[in-house]
Amino acid sequence: MKAHLILEDGNVFTGTSIGSTREVISEIVFNTSMTGYLEVLTDPSYAGQAVVMTYPLIGNYGITPDMESGRPWPDGYIVRELSRMPSNFREEGTIQDFLTKYDIPGIAGIDTRALTKILREKGTMNGMITTNNNYNIEEIIPRLKAYTTGNVVDKVTCSEKRVLKGNGKRVALLDLGAKNNIAQSLNKRGCEVTIYPAHTTAEEILATNPDGIMLSNGPGDPKECKEIIAEIKKLYDSDTPIFAICLGHQLMALATGADTHKMKYGHRGGNHPVKDLETGRVYISSQNHGYVVDTDTLDPVIAKPAFVNVNDGTNEGLSYVGKNIFTVQFHPEACPGPQDSAYLFDRFISMM
């Protein structure tokens, strides 16, 4: 069956429908990872977005147990070529069946290189995936321009508190759309991790007297999370050690008076170099974000830049002055991606 990807700038790509055949409007973003497509699909940070995979062949090892949450989150999935005969000793099914099971529409057989060039040159834009061959582009484009992801954190956060038992430090993890490997990275270092829904009050978390607090990754515009930002400010004021990743990093910056802005096309992939400004060492990192902290708005009395992106100079981490708090924009739990920065979890445990 034919499927069409219609961009808000009027460009149309025609390919083959994969997964669900329902029509969807979403923000179109690209990911440059060469492997780890299942971790990408199950990363809650992609809620409200349709993902273009730039690597030309996707699905060759099928669906494996490497899921970062209980289900896939993107609104749509866009690939150049989809493997029809996956092969892996852990393979449990195909991407096609996986997308169909979770009602996620996709499109294969389009020129993803050309599509990615458009997104790089013009910036991230909205688009529609449809199997309707009689679409009216003049009617569709205003709908595309009007689309916003909204507050998608509420969609992806856990519904109730749960605990991963451990014999070491007790960590409270605020689930803003957390990938499983964040809690697992702490748990395998001995920590007892209590995972809280995103709208848990600071008072409830602090009442348990945790040794440390972890703020997770998550989807959407950080400025949409006004109530959560207010609670994070209380956590900041508590003097409890805090480590934050991605969206959590942005929310902590907003809670302490800094600003964020949307990037032209964001960072999504497994090979982004980040430089530790204290040591000068460069690490290869996994990243997935479309917003960034504006360092010009930082109060130097409150926070200072700790990491910078080597490619474009954008902020990749902050160290908070006089506080046991540090935050990073990249993913030290790295699923998918390199393990270069996993040592940050050890730093957090030492801090606690």
- Asked if 333 is an active-site residue, the reply is yes
Which one, of 188, 230, 191, 184, lies nearest residue 213 by Cα? 191
Say whether 287 sits in a helix, a strand or coil. Answer: strand
Q: Known binder of ligand: residue 218?
A: yes
Catalytic pick among 272, 316, 331, 335: 331
- Asked if 192 is an active-site residue, the reply is no
The answer to whether 317 and 326 have CB atoms below 8 angstroms apart is yes
Catalytic pick among 246, 249, 316, 335: 246
Q: How far is Cα 23 from Cα 159, in angstroms, rounded to an integer?
A: 28
Q: How far is Cα 53 from Cα 48, in angstroms, rounded to an integer?
A: 16
Q: Known binder of ligand: residue 166?
A: no
| Residue showing tokens 């055949």 | 21
Parallel, antiparallel, or unpaired: how do β-strands 259-276 and 282-294 relate? antiparallel
Q: How far is Cα 244 from Cα 217, in angstroms, rounded to an integer?
A: 8
- Asked if 246 is an active-site residue, the reply is yes
| Residue showing tokens 């060492």 | 281
Q: Known binder of ligand: residue 250?
A: yes
Parallel, antiparallel, or unpaired: how do β-strands 12-19 and 24-31 relate? unpaired
The answer to whether 108 and 18 have CB atoms below 8 angstroms apart is yes
Catalytic pick among 27, 225, 333, 335: 333
Q: Known binder of ligand: residue 215?
A: no
Q: For the chain, how big is the Rg over CA atoms in Å?
A: 20
Distance in Å from the first CA to the final CA of the chain: 55
Q: Known binder of ligand: residue 209?
A: no
Sign, CA dihedral 116-121-127-131, equals negative
CB atoms within 10 A of CB 70: 9
Q: Known binder of ligand: residue 11?
A: no
Q: How far is Cα 51 from Cα 179, in angstroms, rounded to an integer?
A: 17
Per the annotation, where are the binding residues? Answer: 45, 218, 220, 247, 250, 288, 290-291
- Binding site, annotated residues for L-glutamine: 45, 218, 220, 247, 250, 288, 290-291
Active site residues: 246, 331, 333
